[in-house]
Structure 1
């Protein structure tokens, strides 16, 4: 009768998406520090990336390592590309857009192959 507020599988995906956000933040600080100098950006980078790896390890409790890592890297790549265009004014050529679309398609295929039931997450 009692239903958990948050299933282990849902919690694993929340941890994975939090890890992706931390990866994007950390890598953005790396770019800022490399362009502007100073060590403060590198300190923020190290902290955000360390937190990203920790959250990724928590996500592995409910998601297989191959799927979690593929989603973490792929969505991190896409998110960082969006940040670099928006924040750093970088331009994308059509080949890069096609590559990003193919990466997203690949992530979708990998994720759909993952078992999504509670027994697989336990």
Structure 2
């Protein structure tokens, strides 16, 4: 019985850590998107939103490492943030990517999947 309770608690802690990492990634994407908008169009409100969102992002990233290895959490945070920001750049800011850049992003995404799957098996 004790082992079952411990494994349920550990699973819940891991789920909370991944939820915190998800919040950190979303906040990073929001903050960096507002930074890009402010840099391109001016205005201090965008920089203010950026500062708050990035502070939230780092806070939740820090919380996530309670249940996820720091290297894994950082790799997923950075990699998914990069991928999502690329999508925002293309959709919102009308950025374009070269074939080489697209290949690099696909390689980064594959690496993130490998790192994440490795974390799931070592927990």
Q: Which residue of 2 aligns with 1:62?
A: 67
- Residues 28-107 of structure 1 mapped to structure 2, 5 A cutoff: 28-107=33-112
Number of residues of Structure 1 aligned to a counterpart in Structure 2: 117
Which secondary structure does the structure 2 equivalent of 1:22 belong to?
A: helix
Structure (1/2) with the larger helix percentage: 2
2 CA distance for matches of 1:31 and 1:97? Answer: 20
Give the Å deviation of 1:113: 1.8
1 CA distance for matches of 2:120 and 2:81? Answer: 22
Higher relative contact order (CA 8 A, sep 6+): 1
- Paired residue for 1:10, among 12, 15, 23? 15
Between stretches 69-78 and 34-43, larger displacement belongs to 34-43
2 CA distance for matches of 1:109 and 1:83? Answer: 24
* Structure 1 residues without counterparts, runs of 5 or longer: none
TM-score by length of 1: 0.89
* Structure 2 residues without counterparts, runs of 5 or longer: none
Whether 2:119 is the aligned partner of 1:114: answer yes
Q: Deviations over 1:39-93 (max 9, x none)?
A: 1110000000000000001101100000000000000000000000000001111
